[in-house]
Amino acid sequence: MQDINLKVGLTGTARVSVTKDNTATSYGSGSVDVLATPAMVGVMEEAAINAVDEKLPNGFASVGTRVDVKHLAATPIGMNVTANAELLEANGPKLKFKIEAYDGKEKIGEGIHFRYVINLSEFMDKVNNKKR
């Protein structure tokens, strides 16, 4: 694999507005019209992507491999959520992030997220071979 030289401490941010489309009711992960846990995790992953993917060589990206998150507080429709990620460890292609999410009133989520740097063409070749 090409040398991946990501520096610990890199940060990324992502934002989402809570709408009917990303509530627990719409996701099927609950019956309440508040931000769904999977939607919160998604914006947290996006923050981690934003921290590192633009710094990778052409033809490379990162994929999520593990998420360990606590959903601390509910966020109603109409509020905005901001997620932050900080690269804690970079061991070759293995990346570990601290992730947090806030809704303007309070912290709503926190945890650790792992990603792995991949060569896109090799990865997609392997994935597409599953269908053969």
> Distance of alpha carbon 8 from its chain centroid, rounded?
17
Is 82 marked active-site? no
How does 34-64 read in b/e, with b if 16+ C-beta sit within 10 Å? bbbbebbbbbbbbbbbbbbeeebeeebebeb
Is the per-residue pLDDT at 71 higher than 90?
yes
In the chain, domain spans: 11-129
What's the predicted TM-score (pTM) here? 0.94
How far apart, in whole angstroms, are the C-alpha atoms of residue 28 and residue 49? 25
Query: What would the mean pLDDT of 58-81 be, rounded to a whole number?
Result: 98
- Estimate to the nearest angstrom the gap between the alpha carbon of 63 and the chain centroid: 9
Q: What is the CATH number of domain 11-129?
A: 3.10.129.10
Asked whether the predicted pLDDT for residue 1 surpasses 70, the reply is no
Active site residue 37: yes
Query: Among 71, 75, 100, 113, which one carries the catalytic annotation?
Result: 71
* Dihedral angle sign, alpha carbons of residues 22, 24, 27, 31: negative
Q: Per-residue confidence at 4, pLDDT binned at 50, 70, 90?
A: confident
Average pLDDT, the chain: 96
Catalytic residue among 11, 13, 37, 110: 37
Q: Indicate the length of the chain as a whole number.
A: 132
- For the chain, the 3-state helix, strand and coil shares in percent, each to the nearest 5, are 25, 45, 30
Tokens of residue 111, six digits: 């945890």
